Amino acid sequence: MHLEGSHKFSASPERIWELLNDPDVLARATPGLKSLEPLEENLYKAEFQIKLGPVNGGFSGSLGVRDQQPPRSYRLEIDVDGRIGSAKAEGTFDIRGEEGGAILSFAGDARLRGVLARMGGRVISGVAQLFTKQFFEALEKEV
């Protein structure tokens, strides 16, 4: 499954970078992310609780930040397992300055297994778009 999106913020690229690299901000802004605990530099233990229609499940695993190029971009790697399946995702966040603020864009792919995969791409894709919108709205509040 492919995911992408972008949002313009009325903040500098440096401020957006700072927010994206704050585990507390990410935990508040990311839908379903319940906790993010440092394991080592740029690697976190991640706990998610996701509800997709009739399917409700918890997931735990890791979230890694790679290829950092402050304050422009980084790659995020997520690998989680739960009772209803597993997910491996990788995506790139890009921040570009623009008059009056910054544009944050992301693009990534996720591989799902178990009940998650059986739900079908259309359902998961719609939920992913909703989560993307919720993430940008929550990050906007942090700005």
- Domain boundaries 2-142, corresponding CATH code: 3.30.530.20
What whole-number distance in Å separates Cα of residue 54 and Cα of residue 123?
A: 12
pLDDT tens per residue across span 6-52: 999 999 999 999 999 999 998 899 988 999 999 999 999 999 998 76
Confidence band for 53, pLDDT divided at 50, 70 and 90:
low
Phi and psi for 10 in degrees, rounded to 5? -95, 55
> What DSSP designation does 41 have?
T
